[in-house]
Amino acid sequence: MTYQLYRNTTLGNNLQESLDELIQGSLNMYRFCDNVWTFVLNDVEFREVTELIKMDKVKIVACDGKNTGSNTTE
């Protein structure tokens, strides 16, 4: 069932806004083509228990997979 149509409804808009707010305004760009998601984030903090890494620009490329999505950062 195709639900993508509903992304531009009010609900979809609000979801999008929530997405933007969730990333707290640092989502620079997103793209979805050929079943591959690409995100570009700004001013990102990666936090692990021991470590904290800050970066100005992060590009996330994610593929849909049965097992896991693969991520690369730069």
| Span of 8-16, 48-56, 65-73 interacting with another protein by CB under 8 A | 8-16
How far apart are alpha carbons 61 and 69 in whole angstroms?
9
Q: Which two structure tokens, joined as six digits, stand for 50?
A: 């021991």
Q: Can you tell me the distance from the alpha carbon of 21 to that of 39, in angstroms, rounded to the nearest whole number?
A: 15
Residue among 12 and 26 whose Cβ is closer to another protein? 12
Considering the rule CB under 8 A, would residue 43 count as an interface residue with another protein? no
Among 33, 50, 52, 54, contact with another protein (rule: CB under 8 A) = 33
Nearest to 41 by CA among 33, 50, 31: 31
Rule CB under 8 A: choose which of 11, 18, 21, 29 binds another protein.
29
Please tell me whether residue 5 binds another protein under the rule CB under 8 A.
Answer: yes
Going through the chain in order, the beta strands assigned E by DSSP cover 27-33, 36-47, 52-63
The residues of the shown chain that bind another protein, judged by CB under 8 A, are 2-5, 7-10, 12-13, 16-17, 29-33, 35
